[in-house]
Amino acid sequence: MSVENIISEQLQEAIAKLYETQITEQQVQLQKTRKEFEGDYTLVTFPLLMLSMKSPEQTANEIGEYLSNTMPELEAYNVIKGFLNLKLKSEFWLGRLNSALGNGAFGMGEPTGRTIMVEYSSPNTNKPLHLGHIRNNLLGYSVAEILKANGHKVIKANLVNDRGVHICKSMLAWQKFGNGETPESTGMKGDHLVGKYYVRYSNEYKKQVDELVGQGMSKEDAEKNAPIQQEVQEMLRKWEAKDKSTLLLWTMMNTWVYDGFAITYKNLGVDFDETYYESDTYLLGKSLVWQGLDKGAFFKKEDGSVWVDLTDEGLDQKLLLRSDGTSVYMTQDLGTAHQRFTEHQLDEEIYVVGNEQNYHFQVLKLVLKKLGFGWADAIYHLSYGMVELPEGKMKSREGTVVDADDLVEEMVSDAREMSQELGKLDGLSNEEAENVSRMVGMGALKYFILKVDPKKTMLFDPKESIDFNGNTGPFIQYAHARIKSVLRKADESGVAMPEIVPVVLLNPKEVELVKLIEDFPAVIKQAGEDFSPAQIANYTYELAKEYNQFYHDYSIMREEDEGVKHMRLMLSKQVAAIIKRAMLLLGIDVPERM
């Protein structure tokens, strides 16, 4: 039971005795006491005045006096206008610390029986992953881990967009200009090689459009009639018709990309329980569209294309199948959703996709409802903001993106350089130094991205992210390493810590640390409800910052009182455990030494 629940129960009992009225826990307005006042928790008495029929001050004093006689955990109370501030005893906070220390699953929720799928990554197989994909992958992975910590069964899913016009663009460009290049012959990662030809297609297409416009054709007609655009549409038709040579080319180039993606995923530290491929699910989607057409949920235009009319829902008409029978993104998303809910009996599916696709997911849910699927309301679009750089937005087709692989290596290199300058790698072997550099570099990248509310567009600054001061991953990682150093020194000095925390008087800094530890389960719960790793990140920063202040102000190993020394070591041990557990929810490792 949380501290708030303990106090709330006591308050409900007090109000029942004093005013002969039963109230619910929700009616008790309890909040943490503001730092400028003395106390741990504050009761807002104004909603209770209709029961007491007295002034706010009288009501607060009356409840405070009752609690001082009936609540053994209460040390003192004070009243500021209509606010009742409650200060709990040091022994109470020691007991809460003992409970946390003895609980290896502290903060983790009980099993809920709910099955939730989190889809993230969802790359196209025509280019390597970039900075935008990094936010997607890190956010999806962390949300999945947080939901698991809340007791849900979680399935981490990846949908690979391995078919469509965009894939054919890379294929066609390689066929026309590649001269048989392979990852082996060029020494390039497969996804980078394929991405090279996606950019080559774009350049050729732009050149042809400009030539046609120069010959007097309108830009709109030129974009439709550019020869290379006609060729790519024909390649897509051949692919859907299962033309053998087209399928062989597609399989070869996709294999190159999958091998490249696997390396990037490993470096990012993300994984998946299920991988779906658009090339498998689009056919199911097409069958659902035909079923909807038969039921009258959709309609066909004169050119043979199939549409859904969503004007009654405040949207517009949406294409589901092209006139040549080829599918669109929406088609395969229908098939994928149906397959997943059928196979896994999901209670909820979360799509981690950028906010530029808000309309798409509005439509997806509405179309599924028109098809009669009751689980359509169990779909949730975790819409996140784009990642921008000081130089501006990224564009894949122009080859101006920040490549994920390059960024990872840059972060590790910068971490190595910064750590060496600050002496963080002193005394470490070459292998340990390299491991710490990678840990710090990746921790800096992940933390900087995840500490921002997912809904917000963010500016990523690599140099700022790797600072060992401020709200950064390296700051928290170093705080953990510092605590582990203290604990090692205690062990080397032969300090034998007792099984339970000694009964000593806690100072205000120590109480604040215990309070923050106490908050951990509630933070995990709220982060799971809001799908927000940022709440975990910023909580962990506050915990590390509070510990650093405590470490600066009070001695641990030089403390003469053995009981106080043991308490501070055990408090430190629990803070380190929470930091490690919290950072793992963000996909971040913390070093044992720096």
pLDDT per residue, tens digit, the chain (594 aa), is: 889 899 999 999 999 999 888 888 788 899 999 988 999 999 999 988 988 899 999 999 999 999 999 999 999 999 998 899 999 999 999 999 998 987 878 888 899 999 999 999 999 899 899 888 999 999 999 999 999 999 999 999 999 999 888 899 999 999 999 999 999 999 999 999 999 999 999 999 999 999 999 999 999 999 999 999 999 999 999 998 899 999 999 999 999 999 999 999 999 999 999 999 988 888 899 999 999 999 999 999 999 999 999 999 999 999 999 888 878 889 989 999 999 999 999 999 999 999 999 999 999 999 999 999 999 999 999 999 988 777 644 343 444 568 889 889 888 988 888 888 888 888 888 898 889 999 999 999 999 999 999 999 888 888 888 888 889 999 999 999 999 999 999 999 988 888 888 889 999 999 999 999 999 999 999 999 999 999 999 999 999 999 999 999 999 999 889 999 999 999 999 999 999 999 999 999 999 988
- Residue 114 in any domain: the answer is no
CATH of the domain at 25: 3.30.1360.70
CATH of the domain at 235: 3.40.50.620
- Structurally, the chain folds into a number of domains equal to 3
Check: CB of residue 201 under 8 Å from CB of residue 172. yes
Q: Which of 360, 379, 398 is the last residue of a domain?
A: 398
Note whether 172 and 221 are same-domain residues: yes
CA 511/CA 96 separation, integer angstroms: 10
CA 243/CA 265 separation, integer angstroms: 32
Q: pLDDT value at position 282?
A: 85
* 177 token code pair: 């200009």
Q: Which of 398, 430, 464 is the last residue of a domain?
A: 398
Task: Name the residue range of residue 283's domain.
Answer: 120-398
Torsion, Cα 39 41 42 48, to 10 degrees, reads -140
Note whether 201 and 144 are same-domain residues: yes
83: helix, coil or strand? strand
Note whether 364 and 408 are same-domain residues: no
Please count the other Cβ atoms lying within 10 Å of the Cβ belonging to residue 309.
Answer: 14
Note whether 480 and 502 are same-domain residues: yes
317: helix, coil or strand? strand
- Residue 283 in any domain: the answer is yes
Q: pLDDT value at position 400?
A: 52
Note whether 450 and 503 are same-domain residues: yes
- Residue 102 in any domain: the answer is no
586: helix, coil or strand? coil
Check: CB of residue 30 under 8 Å from CB of residue 42. yes
Polymer length in residues for the chain? 594
Which residue spans within 347-502 are E strands per DSSP? Answer: 348-354, 379-384, 387-388, 458-459
End-to-end CA separation in angstroms for the chain: 37
Q: pLDDT value at position 396?
A: 39
CA 446/CA 540 separation, integer angstroms: 14
Count of helix runs (H) and strand runs (E) in the chain: 21, 14
Note whether 247 and 380 are same-domain residues: yes
**Tokens 């963010």 -> residue:** 458
Q: Which of 66, 88, 110 is the last residue of a domain?
A: 88
- Residue 332 in any domain: the answer is yes
87 to 43, 93, 239: CA distances (angstroms)? 12, 11, 71
With b for 16 or more beta-carbon neighbours within 10 A and e for fewer, the 281-303 pattern comes to bbebbbebbeebbeeebbeeeee
Note whether 146 and 235 are same-domain residues: yes
Angle at 186 between CA 185 and CA 188, to 5 degrees: 125
Note whether 376 and 474 are same-domain residues: no
Q: pLDDT value at position 336?
A: 93
Q: What are phi and psi of 555, to 5 degrees?
A: -80, 150
Q: Which residues face 382 on adjacent strands? A: 352
Please count the other Cβ atoms lying within 10 Å of the Cβ belonging to residue 193.
Answer: 24
